[in-house]
Chain A
Amino acid sequence: MTDFSQAAGSRNGGLDLGRLLLEGRAFFALIAIIVIFSILSPVYFSVDNFLTMSSHVAIFGLLSIGMLLVILTGGIDLSVGSTLGFAGVFAGFLMQGVSFEIFGVVVYPPVWAVVILTCAMGAFVGAINGVLIAYFKVPAFVATLGMLYVARGVALLMTDGLTYNNLGGSPELGNTGFDWLGFNRLFGIPVGVLVLALVAIVALLALTRTPFGRWVYSTGGNARAAELSGVPVKRVQVSVYVLSGICAAIAGLVLSSQLTSAGPTAGTTYELTAIAGVVIGGAALTGGRGNVRGTLLGAFVIGFLSDGLVIIGVSSYWQTVFTGAVIVLAVLLNSIQYSGRKKRSTPSDGTASSPQREAKSRGAEPAAESTAVNPASQS
């Protein structure tokens, strides 16, 4: 969170309040939500409630971080909700034991193997998306929309529409511990929240401190320029969808652990919530702009808002209306911010660079009218 004050403050020392509110809007929105609901309900402002709400946020947060990577490259991943559901069912399927009829054995993989296999499944789904988009030039919207249906359909096929309820495993089979993926608490904090924190830190480091992060931003900012600068644009595109798939798989594991059951319809429409989180966090859907901090704030805004509405007893229909309004408001503020940036930058740049420009045009005019001006004399 230290970055936040930096980003808002470093540009120009004497910044006005409006600009501060605009740039830190997700942060202030979160504060406002917490304050308002704390006044409206006595139970809202408590450590226990925050932890409960945070474990709900963890699911959206994980999806949003994967979505952020994709959106930063200028793409979109509509398949994450389905991948989440598919991953839960896949994990449930593995927990029930995989029978190899040829050998007449049933293999019960330990939980760590279930986690790895499920993440690999998520990566595979993402890789299909990525390859379709990067190499076969299928528009991201269409490719991932197709995957939204396919992954959901496969999840339904795997269970015949039913839900896996016994994910606890048994000590004799050596596959207990599934509840440690999201349901249990470590140092009093839900494991799901810790998983989110871990993924967020990894994403933050990857985006800000590695070449990969720079490649992601440059691909979304201007893919042609990035390619000519030696950025492996296609591989970057495939990677972000793979990472998004893995994030969705992790979210699926956390969710089915929290619910102690894995249903094939879990995560329906979550992709839209994930996109909303990214957008509320200030990212541009055109790519190149956005960060992990904002996206986390966005996920918390949505999560704390909807849980708050539940706590004060607002009907779920109204919740939908509120959430939608918040998303539209966020996008509206985004466009104000980005168009404002352009308008603001021109006059302020003028003051910074106009002496030099004047010097140049002064140099150019006599050159045009008379002739030969020694270029060296200008610099």
Chain B
Amino acid sequence: MTDESAMSHNDDTPREDVAGEAILSARHVAKSFGNVHALKAVNFDVHRGQVTTLFGENGAGKSTLMKILSGVIRPTSGEILLEGRAVSFASTSEAQRLGISIIHQELSLAPNLSVRDNIFMGRELGGSTGVDYAEEERQTRLLMEELDEPIDPLTPVEELRLGQQQIVEIARALSANSRILIMDEPTSALSATEVEVLFRVIRDLKQRGVSIVYISHHLEEALTITDHAVVLRDGIMTAYAPRRDIDLEWIVRNMVGEGFDLGSPPTGYGMGDVALSLREVSVPDATVPGRSAVDHLSLDVRAGEIVCIYGLMGAGRTELLESIAGRIPLTDGEVVLDGNDVSRLSIAERIDQGLVLVPEDRQRDGLVQTMSVGENLSLASIGAFTRGLFTSRRRESDVVASSIRNVHIKTDGGEASIGSLSGGNQQKVVIGKMLATSPRVVLLDEPSRGIDIGAKAEVFGLLSEGARQGLAVVFSTSEVGECLSIAHRVVVMSRGRIAAEFGTGATKEEIMAASGEAVVA
């Protein structure tokens, strides 16, 4: 590494064309969505021919920044400099013409088409008689050879392994003459060997002068490949340094900061018996046949206890919680609720027994958008206000009113439409709906996803209150700060297993280290 750049590099004007110089810069870039400020005056440099990694927790603004740099969205204010000249792109294709490509976490390949057709999708080479397939095939073959992944250009993409598909995406970006490649969580679904291949390709690309922006939650893995580290927190760039000056601890410290007080574990009462017991639970992975998303996992949760499940994306948190609730069938093991095996019961029967799930994606799995706030709140507890054949409107409005009160939903009343609520209040509707069934055990999959910090604190307050009254609470999170709030116990999941367990005294560094180290040693 030849850079003598370090911290002073930030405000540089372009210099001679050397590796390490900033090729793409964001200057005071801010982005607001309504009242939510996702980015606040961020400065960010992409270094020529090097890897710049962006670190930050969920919601820190990483994706927003990458979307701005790749033309998916426009910044509210600030400017983008490409080789020193201010540029603004209205679309991804315009950004691509200027040499900037983004590879999203969810690959954007057409699985039914061949490698060749994917690489030239939307930019087909014209010939005298339509598309010049022979030339496309030749170029594809050349590209794949350069990337040391000699896949036949006519292979349908769906027949490739995920790692190979990613390389096809990279080939597509290269064939569009991309000089800057943004990779959003490229390794989250890859096996260790596939990660090795990807890293070799990245080093290769650096040799060819391609600049890379890399985003990953796997900190140690990212440290092995990066040349520069930039840390974002709550929409602000909190730290910047070249690789040689930093270590894992430095990143974690800057990522999580001092944090926001989300409460502490409720105390002053005795915990009850074991309410939920998982015994050797296994769940197959839906995307990779033969792999287990949850692998013989055992866990006991007592009444009144709050357990936090922490893990990176793909650790199996969602699969675990959905299988407990009955959405996904178990391949092995059993779920025991208050001493009764409920593994064979339907979702509805488990709700009757007192086991409920607040799903991760409230738009997709939590709310019925066509129904009112009240109808959503009463959906799961409809039996409680049904007499004979008919529902009692009076009893229903009692249930709705008390739910709105209990979970502090800010709404004009039960008649209001779901769309009129803010994200945090929508989340409280989903929680209130499940709490209205008077559960014994409540599972929450990332209950804080997409809600602001004030609502987050309120949700956690609700859970503490529930636990105090004897509810067993299990919630999952990918933000380490949340583990250290109300949870009595932190369970770290990695690759479908429990990697570590901590009491209330754990540090963020310990928890993060336990979740990420299993990927590349």
Show the binding face of A for B, using Cβ within 8 Å.
10, 205, 209-211, 214-215, 217-218, 220-222, 224-232, 284, 287-289, 342, 345, 348-349, 352-354, 356-361, 363-365, 367-369, 371-376, 378-379
- List 15 extra interface pairs beyond A357-B422, A374-B261, CB under 8 A: A210-B391, A217-B371, A218-B375, A222-B368, A222-B369, A225-B364, A228-B325, A229-B379, A352-B420, A357-B35, A360-B454, A363-B453, A371-B257, A371-B258, A372-B258
Within 8 A of A (CB), among B88-116: none
- A-B CB proximity, top 6 nearest: A375-B457, A288-B370, A368-B234, A221-B368, A221-B370, A230-B348
Q: Which residues of A contact B325 (CB under 8 A)?
A: 228
Q: Once the chains are docked, how many angstroms separate the CA of A129 from the CA of B421?
A: 38
- Is B260 in contact with A371, judged by CB distance below 8 angstroms? yes
Closest-by-CB residue of B relative to A284 is B370
The 15 sampled A-B contact pairs (Cβ below 8 Å) are: A214-B375, A214-B391, A217-B368, A221-B370, A222-B364, A226-B368, A229-B379, A348-B420, A353-B425, A360-B424, A361-B452, A372-B258, A378-B454, A379-B454, A379-B458
Can you name the residue of chain A whose Cβ is closest to the Cβ of B32? A361
Docked pose: A214 CA to B376 CA in angstroms: 10
Q: Does B36 contact A (CB under 8 A)?
A: yes
Q: Is the CB of B35 within 8 A of A361?
A: yes
Complex formed: what's the CA distance from A204 to B260 in Å? Answer: 51
B364→A224 contact, CB < 8 A: yes
The answer on a CB contact under 8 Å between B370 and A220 is yes
Q: Which listed residue (B37, B352, B368, B420) contacts A218, Cβ 8 A?
A: B368
B410 interface contact, C-beta 8 A: yes
B259 within 8 Å of A (CB atoms)? yes
B144 on the A face (CB < 8 A): no
Using known A-B contacts A230-B380, A363-B453, determine if residue A209 contacts B391 with beta carbons closer than 8 Å. yes
Q: Which of A205, A217, A231, A353 contacts B420 (CB 8 A)?
A: A353
Does B367 count as interface, using CB distance less than 8 angstroms?
yes
Interface string of B212-254 (1 = CB under 8 A from A): 0000000000000000000001111000000000000000000
Q: Does B200 contact A (CB under 8 A)?
A: no
Contact A360 B455 (CB under 8 A): yes
Cross-chain contact B370 with A289 (CB below 8 angstroms):
yes
Which residues of B (358-392) have their CB < 8 Å from a CB of A? 359, 364-371, 375, 378-380, 382-383, 386, 389-391
Q: How far is the CB of A36 from chain B (nearest CB, A)?
A: 34
Query: A378 vs B346: C-alpha distance in the bound complex, in angstroms?
Result: 40
Residue of A at shortest CB range from B40? A368
**Cβ of A353 and Cβ of B367 under 8 Å apart?**
no
Task: Verify A214–B382 contact, CB threshold 8 A.
Answer: yes
**Please, which residues of chain A bring their CB within 8 A of the CB of B260?**
367, 371-373, 375
Q: Are B454 and A368 in contact (CB under 8 A)?
A: no
Write out the residue numbers on chain A whose beta carbons fall within 8 Å of the beta carbon of B453: 363-364, 367-368, 375
Q: Could you mark each residue 23-55 of chain B with 1 if its beta carbon is under 8 Å from any beta carbon of chain A, else 0?
A: 000000000001111000000000000000000
From A342, A361, A375, name the one whose CB has the most chain B CB atoms within 10 angstroms.
A375
Write out the residue numbers on chain B whose beta carbons fall within 8 Å of the beta carbon of A342: 419
- Nearest chain A residue, comparing its CB with the CB of B430: A225
The verdict on B344 contacting chain A, using a C-beta distance below 8 Å, is no
- Interface flags for B405-437 (1: CB within 8 Å of A; 0: not) read 000101010010101111011000000011001
- Give the distance to chain A from B440, nearest Cβ to Cβ, in Å: 15
Chain B residues positioned under 8 Å from A227 (CB to CB): 327, 347
Give the complex CA separation of A372 and B437 in angstroms.
Answer: 35
Q: A209 CA to B389 CA in the complex, in Å?
A: 8
Q: How far is the CA of A111 from the CA of B421 in the complex (A)?
A: 55
Contact A353 B410 (CB under 8 A): yes
Given A222, A345, A360, which contacts B367 in the complex, CB threshold below 8 Å? A222
| Chain A residue nearest to B359 in the complex (CB) | A228
Query: A345 contacts B234, CB within 8 Å?
Result: no
| Contact A225:B348 (CB < 8 A) given known A210-B389, A374-B261 | no
Q: A308 CA to B264 CA in the complex, in Å?
A: 73
Shortest Cβ distance from B238 into chain A, in angstroms?
A: 10
B357 interface residue, CB < 8 Å from A? yes
Q: Say yes or no: A230 contacts B352, CB within 8 Å.
A: yes
Complex CA–CA separation, A152 to B515 (angstroms): 62
Instruction: Establish whether residues B348 and A364, one from each chain, have CB atoms under 8 Å apart when the complex forms.
Output: no
Is A345 in contact with B419, judged by CB distance below 8 angstroms?
A: yes
Query: Chain A residues with Cβ under 8 A from B454's Cβ?
Result: 359-360, 363-364, 375, 378-379
Contact of A225 among B236, B366, B458 (CB under 8 A): B366
Rounded to whole angstroms, the CA-CA distance of A227 and B379 in the bound complex is 10
Cα distance A231–B351 in the bound complex, in angstroms: 10
| B430 CB to nearest chain A CB (Å) | 8
Q: Chain A residues with Cβ under 8 A from B367's Cβ?
A: 222, 225
Q: Smallest CB–CB gap between B351 and chain A, Å?
A: 4
| A225-B391 in contact given A211-B382, A214-B375, A371-B259 (Cβ < 8 Å) | no
A368 and chain B: residue at smallest CB distance:
B234
The verdict on A230 contacting B347 (CB below 8 Å), with A222-B367, A361-B37, A372-B260 known, is yes
Chain B contacts for A220, CB-based, 8 A: 370
Which residues from A are CB-within-8-Å of B210?
A: none
Task: Kindly provide the distance from the CB of B510 to the nearest chain A CB, expressed in whole angstroms.
Answer: 21
Residue B450 lies at the interface, judged by CB distance under 8 Å to chain A: no
